[in-house]
Each structure stands twice: as C-alpha cells, then as structure tokens.
C-alpha cells in the first residue's frame, strides 16, 4: 500500500516538474523570439506587445508590454463579436418589416410601400441564398401580390430612420469612407452597402475612365481622376462619396496596370435609397404600376418631409443567425457587420439612441462587470478601422479566453480564419499588424494576442517576423 502511495506521489511530482519545465522552456523560447522581433529593424521605432494565456484557466504563460494601449486593427472584431454572443445570443436574428401605409381599393394601394430597416447587414447580401437581392425582392413582391396589390399610388420608401443620421463612426479617416470597407452602418442596409465601379485602364501614367458600375446606379455621376500606376504598385484607387446634395462620386489615386480585377468596390452613399430603387425597378418590370418615386429617409429629410410609418405589415424578413453572421464577420473581416453588431447591442437593450458611442458604452460596461478595466479599451468603433482605437493585448487575450468556456465557443472558433496554420484573427491598418487566436502547445490550449504598431517596411516582412514568434506556440 505504501509503495502504491509513493508511486502515485512520484508520478504526480514528475508530472508537475515536467509541466513546469515545459512552461519555463516555452517562456524562454517566447522571450527569445519576442526580443528578436522587438530588436528588428522594422520595429526600430515601433511598439510590440504580446500576451499568452492558458485558454482553460487564464493563467499567464507569457507577457511583454501587455498593458500598452495599441491600435488593434481588425483584431478588435473579436471583442465585438464575443460581446455580441454574450448579449444577443447565438440564435439572435435581425427582423426587417415590409409593409405599407394607406388603404387598398380594388387592387390599388393609395399609400406608400415601406422597407423598415432594423440594422440587418445581411439584407441583399450574396453570402446566403435567402439574403440575396433577388431572393429578398421576390419575397417582397410575393407579399404585395398576396395582399392583392396590383397598383401603387404612392412611393417606395427605404426607411433608414431607426439609427439616426450618423452612420460613420467618428475617428474614421476621409480616404476610407467611400470604399466598400468604409461603408456606414445604416439602419437599412442593402447588398452590404456596396457596389462595383468598373475601370477602363490603359498605359502607365494615362487617365483611367469609368466604364460603368455593377449594378447600374444611374442616379450617381462618376468623375475619375485616377491614373494607371506602374506594375506592382497595387490598387490605390479611392472613391470619394458625394458631399452635401451633389450626386458626384470622385475617384482618386492610382491603379496598377497589372491589376486583374479592373474595378473598385465602393460604398453606397444612401443604401436605403438603393433598396427602394431596386424594388421600384422590379415592380415596374413585373407590370405593377407605381406612380411615385423611390425615396429614403435621407432624401425625404432633404425635402423637409417625415418618413411615414408602416401601418400594415405584409411580411418580416429574418436575417441569418448571429453565429452565421459572426462567421463572415471574422472570416472576411467585414467592418459593416461588426459595426451593426455594436449598434444591435443598443437596439436590444432599448432606452437609448442607437449610436456607435452608446454601443461602445454597453460593451465596456459588460466587461467592466467582469473585471476588465475599461481604460484598457479605448474604442471609437467596433471593427478596428479607426487608427484612434486603443486596446491592450492583455484585454484582448482575456476576452478571448473568456469565450473558451461558453456553449457557443465552437461557433466563434470556427469564425477565425487560418493564417500560418493557426486559427486567428488578423488586423492591419497603416503600419499596424496584429493577430489574436488559439493554439495547442504540447497538449495545452493557449490563447494569444500580439500587436505591432508603427513598424516600417513591407507588411509581408513584418508578418513573417510575427509568425516566427507565434511558431513557438506550436
């Protein structure tokens, strides 16, 4: 009996010593790799931070500059999506009401058709079969026909009023606002609030012309100041949206002659108007007479008119589930989706105006109640596009670690892309590169967050340098 006890005690001691040795070895390897990165020429004027935690217990495995507030880029999406899972639930769906006001007499609606936006970023998206433009428009048409409406003496209105008038967070830079990734988080989204501008290119140094758009947007005018750039210089073309009441979109910058896409993905100036415009066009093509025009909350405001309310709901279009939305949010780093989820936190709680700052306050208060210092997460948006965002790797890693015990963790984990053979979310804006994710090291699950700010030189090179540090976790 005594021998058995001694054997058990020896085995326990051996395991403890082995685990301690393994952790010390990992710490030493991480320390060497981190110091090499920090001393590299690319980080000469930069700041580097790394936090590695035990994914199950939260124990600190390795930290370096862990409390430095840095720009996280799109790794901030992990904070937003984990908060959304906690507060909205994995099965949450947006609901978009479609209906009318007025009366129906002998198949004629004397009133307006209204699409009421509720923040669904997937409405008209190509990522699911039941969210595509064709599917949604057909569903709306079917609802009209079921109600017996064959003619409309009124307008088609995209109601974008639920989220107020500011769709762009403070802190985003002017150059990003006309791009697809800088699209505003509107109450009524459509086709992810983006369309393509097709380019007619030529020899280096010559002007580039606009050859059309996909889909056609006849209500906008395009003026190109783009020039054909030298091969290898990439896509540096930026759309600049109409200012004030003008309908002119300017394109500025360069577009390399060896670029194959020959297009620029741009943001809709008024997505709610485009949704109404597409429905109006569909109805007329199907022979349903509409006497009025397409309108949006924005266009009605410009005419000093109120957006009318739905008095009769014909159908409600549901979005995919939150788990499905988070998958694409993180996999493709969709800024629009992250910003809409941040606003959904406000819409669900009610009682406050649905704004980005109010969403951030709810997010920060949630984590404050769980022991995180809100001063470690100075956020101005939910997606990380703003260069003003600041958060620590310790806070990101802690929030990531908290997800490990949740029932929806598998859905969140699956949303993380794979880089360097590791499940992790990347983040990159000007001279910022960051990663956060999970990795198993010798049977031990780890969670990590690494950020490099103000590096110099090619992004490809700094990514390789960071991967050499993260390779120690494998």
For residues 209 and 327, membership in a common domain is answered with no
For residues 335 and 459, membership in a common domain is answered with yes
19 is a domain residue:
no
Q: How far is CA 144 from the centre of its chain?
A: 33
Q: DSSP string spanning 256-269?
A: ETT-SS-EEEEE-S
133 is a domain residue:
yes
For residues 343 and 442, membership in a common domain is answered with yes
Q: Distance of CA 208 to CAs 215, 216, 226, 259, 271, Å? A: 20, 19, 5, 13, 26
Query: What does the pLDDT look like over 429-470, one tens digit per residue?
Result: 999 999 999 999 999 999 999 999 999 999 999 999 999 999
Inter-residue contact 53 to 398 (CB < 8 Å):
yes
Q: What is the CATH number of the domain that holds 50?
A: 3.40.710.10
416 is a domain residue:
yes
Q: What is the CATH number of the domain that holds 298?
A: 3.50.80.20
pLDDT score for 222 = 96
pLDDT score for 24 = 78
Domain that holds residue 415: 32-90+323-473
Give every CB contact of residue 113 below 8 A, 6+ residues apart in sequence: 98, 99, 100, 144, 152, 154, 155, 156, 157, 279, 290
d(CA 120, CA 327): 15
For residues 59 and 98, membership in a common domain is answered with no
Using only the alpha carbons of the chain, give its radius of gyration: 26
Inter-residue contact 238 to 226 (CB < 8 Å):
no
6 is a domain residue:
no
Q: DSSP string spanning 162-208?
A: GG-S--SPTT--GGGTTBGGG----SS--GGGEEEEEEE--STTSB-
For residues 342 and 438, membership in a common domain is answered with yes
pLDDT score for 7 = 57
More confident residue, 201 or 5: 201
Over range 296-306, report the average pLDDT. Answer: 93
Give every CB contact of residue 395 below 8 A, 6+ residues apart in sequence: 79, 367, 372, 373, 376, 377
For residues 364 and 296, membership in a common domain is answered with no
Q: Give the pLDDT band (50/70/90) at residue 22.
A: low
Three-point CA angle 398, 401, 406, nearest 5°: 130
Q: Give the pLDDT band (50/70/90) at residue 16.
A: very low
14 is a domain residue:
no
Query: What does the pLDDT look like over 374-408, one tens digit per residue?
Result: 999 999 999 999 999 999 999 999 999 999 999 99
pTM: 0.93
Inter-residue contact 264 to 199 (CB < 8 Å):
yes
pLDDT score for 246 = 76
For residues 78 and 154, membership in a common domain is answered with no
1 is a domain residue:
no
Q: Which of 84, 92, 49 is nearest to 67 (CA)?
A: 49
pLDDT at 21 over 80: no
For residues 415 and 447, membership in a common domain is answered with yes
d(CA 103, CA 171): 45
Boundary-marking domain end, from 320, 335, 353: 320
For residues 250 and 133, membership in a common domain is answered with no
pLDDT at 171 over 50: yes
**Tally of CB atoms within 10 A around 126:** 12
Instruction: For residue 281, give both structure tokens.
Output: 């066009």
pLDDT score for 245 = 63
Q: Distance of CA 161 to CAs 83, 274, 401, Å? A: 25, 15, 38
128 is a domain residue:
yes
For residues 291 and 347, membership in a common domain is answered with no
For residues 114 and 54, membership in a common domain is answered with no
For residues 358 and 371, membership in a common domain is answered with yes
DSSP β-ladder status, 312-318 and 95-100:
antiparallel
Give long-range contacts, CB 8 A cutoff, 24+ apart: 296-299.
296/157, 296/158, 296/159, 296/160, 296/188, 296/270, 296/272, 297/157, 297/158, 297/159, 297/160, 297/161, 297/272, 298/160, 298/165, 298/270, 298/272, 298/273, 299/270, 299/273
Query: What does the pLDDT look like over 101-129, one tens digit per residue?
Result: 999 999 999 999 999 999 999 999 999 99
pLDDT at 269 over 60: yes
Q: Give the pLDDT band (50/70/90) at residue 14.
A: very low
Overall domain count for the chain: 3
173 is a domain residue:
no
């Amino acid at each position: 009996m005594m021998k058995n006890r001694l054997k058990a005690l020896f085995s326990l001691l051996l395991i403890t010593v082995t685990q301690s040795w393994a952790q010390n070895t990992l710490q030493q390897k991480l320390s060497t790799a981190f110091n090499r990165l920090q001393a590299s020429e690319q980080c000469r004027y930069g700041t580097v931070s790394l936090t590695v935690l035990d994914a199950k217990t939260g124990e600190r495995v390795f930290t370096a500059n862990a409390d430095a507030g840095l720009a996280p880029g799109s790794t901030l999406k992990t904070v937003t999506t984990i908060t959304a899972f906690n507060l909205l639930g994995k099965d949450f769906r947006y609901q978009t009401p479609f209906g009318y006001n007025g009366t129906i007499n002998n198949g004629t609606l004397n009133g307006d058709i209204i699409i009421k936006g509720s923040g669904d970023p997937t409405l008209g998206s190509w990522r699911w079969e039941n969210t595509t433009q064709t599917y949604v428009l057909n569903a709306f048409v079917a609802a009209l026909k079921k109600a017996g409406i064959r003619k409309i003496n009124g307008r088609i209105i995209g109601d974008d009023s639920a989220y107020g008038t500011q769709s762009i967070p403070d802190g985003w830079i002017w150059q990003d606002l006309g791009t697809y990734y800088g699209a505003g988080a509107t109450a009524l989204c459509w086709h992810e609030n983006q369309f393509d501008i097709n380019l007619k290119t030529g020899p280096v140094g010559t002007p580039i012309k606009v050859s059309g758009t996909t889909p056609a947007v006849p209500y906008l005018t395009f003026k190109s100041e783009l020039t054909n750039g030298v091969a290898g210089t990439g896509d540096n073309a930026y759309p600049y949206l109409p200012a004030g009441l003008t309908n002119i979109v300017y394109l500025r910058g360069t577009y390399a002659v060896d670029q194959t896409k020959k297009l620029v993905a741009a943001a809709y100036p008024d997505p709610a108007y485009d949704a109404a415009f597409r429905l109006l066009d569909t109805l007329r093509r199907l022979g349903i007479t509409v006497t009025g025009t397409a309108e949006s909350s924005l266009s009605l405001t410009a005419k000093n008119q109120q957006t009318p309310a739905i008095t009769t709901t014909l159908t409600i279009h549901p979005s995919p589930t939150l788990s499905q939305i988070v998958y694409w949010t993180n996999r493709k780093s969709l800024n629009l989706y992250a910003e809409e989820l941040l606003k959904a936190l406000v819409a669900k709680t009610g009682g406050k105006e649905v704004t980005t700052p109010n969403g951030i306050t709810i997010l920060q208060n949630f984590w404050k109640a769980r022991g995180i210092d809100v001063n470690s997460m100075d956020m101005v948006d939910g997606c990380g596009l703003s260069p003003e965002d600041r958060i620590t790797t310790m806070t990101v890693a802690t929030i990531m670690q908290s997800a490990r015990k949740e029932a929806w963790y598998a859905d969140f984990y699956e949303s993380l892309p794979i880089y360097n053979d590791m499940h992790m979310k990347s983040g990159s804006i000007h001279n910022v590169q960051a990663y956060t994710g999970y990795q198993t090291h010798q049977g031990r699950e780890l969670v990590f967050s690494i950020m490099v700010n103000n590096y110099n030189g090619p992004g490809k090179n700094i990514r390789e340098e960071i991967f050499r540090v993260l390779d120690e976790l494998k």
